Amino acid sequence: MKHSENSASSPSPPDPDLFRAWQKAWEPPPTLTVSEWADEFRKLSSEASSESGQWQTSRAEFQRGIMDALADPYTEKIVVKSSAQIGKSEILLNVLGYHIHLDPCPILLLQPTTQMAENFSKTRVSPMIRDTKVLTQLVEDPKARNSNNTILQKHFQGGSLSLSGANSPASLSSRPIRLLLIDEVSRMSTAGAEGDAVNLAIKRTTTFFNRKIFLVSTPQNKDSCRISEAFQDSDQRKFWVPCPHCGEEQVLLWKQVKWESSRPETATYTCQHCKEIWSEGQRLKAIQQGQWKAEEEFRGTAGFWLNALYSPWARLPELVQEFLEAKENPEQLKVFINTVLAEEWDATSQAEKIDDLGLYNRREKYVSQVPDEVELITAGIDVQDDRLEISTIGHGTQGKEIWAIDHAIIFEDPASSSAWEELTHIITTGFSRSDGSKAFITAACIDSGGHHTGTVYDYCKRVQLRRGQRLHPIKGVGGEGKPILGRPSRNNSGRVQLFPMGSDTAKELIYSRLKIQKPGAGFIHFPESACFDLEYFQQLTAERIQIRFHKGYRKREWVKARPRNEALDCFAMALAALASLNIRRWSSRPFRRAEEAEEILEEPEETKKPPEPVQRLRRQRRGGSGWMNL
Q: What is the DSSP letter of 485?
A: B
Q: Where are the beta strands (DSSP E) in 354-466?
A: 376-383, 388-395, 402-410, 431-432, 438-439, 443-447
- DSSP letter string, 223-283: TS-HHHHHHHTS--EEEEEE-TTT--EEE--GGGEEEETTEEEEEEEE-TTT-PEEPHHHH
| Contact between residue 252 and residue 282 where contact means Cβ atoms under 8 Å apart | no
Report pLDDT for 594.
39
Report pLDDT for 560.
80
Nearest to 183 by CA among 303, 276, 93, 103: 93
Q: φ, ψ for residue 139 (rounded to 5)?
A: -115, 120
CA-to-CA distance for 168 and 182, rounded, in angstroms? 14
* CATH 3.30.1490 is right for the domain spanning 356-603: no
CA-to-CA distance for 199 and 202, rounded, in angstroms? 5
3: burial class by Cβ within 10 Å (0-12, 13-18, 19+)?
exposed
Give just the sign of the alpha carbon dihedral 337, 546, 487, 376: negative
51: burial class by Cβ within 10 Å (0-12, 13-18, 19+)?
exposed
Please name the helix (run of DSSP H) or strand (run of DSSP E) that holds residue 545, with its range, or none: strand 543-550
Q: What is the pTM of this model?
A: 0.70
| Contact between residue 532 and residue 407 where contact means Cβ atoms under 8 Å apart | yes
CA-to-CA distance for 426 and 609, rounded, in angstroms? 29
Report pLDDT for 617.
36
Fold match flag (34-253+286-314 vs 356-603): no
Return all residues near 313 (Cβ < 8 A) that are at least 6 apart: 50, 85
CA-to-CA distance for 535 and 541, rounded, in angstroms? 10
| Contact between residue 377 and residue 575 where contact means Cβ atoms under 8 Å apart | no
Say which amino acid occupies 512. Answer: S
Whole-angstrom distance between the N-terminal and C-terminal Cα of the chain?
A: 80
Distances (CA, A) of 630 to 178, 603, 610, 624, 626: 46, 18, 11, 14, 13
| Contact between residue 598 and residue 443 where contact means Cβ atoms under 8 Å apart | no
Query: 238 pairs with which residues across the strands?
Result: 293, 305
| Count of other CB atoms within 10 angstroms of residue 216 | 23
| Contact between residue 424 and residue 440 where contact means Cβ atoms under 8 Å apart | no
| Contact between residue 383 and residue 451 where contact means Cβ atoms under 8 Å apart | yes
How many helices (H) and strands (E) would you count in the chain? 22, 26
Residue 559 CA, chain-centre distance (Å), reads 24
Return all residues near 12 (Cβ < 8 A) that are at least 6 apart: none
Q: Where are the beta strands (DSSP E) in 286-339?
A: 291-294, 301-306
Backbone torsion region of residue 422, taken as left when φ is above 0, otherwise alpha when ψ lies between -120 and 50, otherwise beta: alpha
| Contact between residue 138 and residue 156 where contact means Cβ atoms under 8 Å apart | yes
CA-to-CA distance for 154 and 325, rounded, in angstroms? 43
Q: Where are the beta strands (DSSP E) in 411-462?
A: 431-432, 438-439, 443-447
Distances (CA, A) of 130 to 24, 89, 96: 24, 17, 14
Backbone torsion region of residue 551, taken as left when φ is above 0, otherwise alpha when ψ lies between -120 and 50, otherwise beta: left
Report pLDDT for 404.
96
CA-to-CA distance for 217 and 339, rounded, in angstroms? 10
Q: φ, ψ for residue 61 (rounded to 5)?
A: -60, -30
Report pLDDT for 197.
82
Distances (CA, A) of 546 to 212, 225, 364, 413: 34, 14, 33, 34
Q: Where are the domains of the chain?
A: 34-253+286-314, 356-603
Question: Which residue numbers in the chain have pLDDT < 70?
Answer: 1-30, 142-147, 169-171, 173-174, 189-195, 347-353, 398-399, 547-555, 582-630
592: burial class by Cβ within 10 Å (0-12, 13-18, 19+)?
middle
Give just the sign of the alpha carbon dihedral 353, 573, 579, 198: positive
State what percent of residues in the chain have pLDDT above 90. 55
Q: φ, ψ for residue 125 (rounded to 5)?
A: -70, -50
- The CA angle 60-62-65, to the nearest 5 degrees, is 130
Report pLDDT for 208.
92
CA-to-CA distance for 509 and 345, rounded, in angstroms? 13
| Contact between residue 87 and residue 56 where contact means Cβ atoms under 8 Å apart | no
Q: φ, ψ for residue 110 (rounded to 5)?
A: -105, 125
| Count of other CB atoms within 10 angstroms of residue 551 | 9
CATH T-level fold of 34-253+286-314: Rossmann fold (3.40.50)
Instruction: Report the half-sphere exposure of 543 (CA within 13 A, side-chain side).
Output: 21
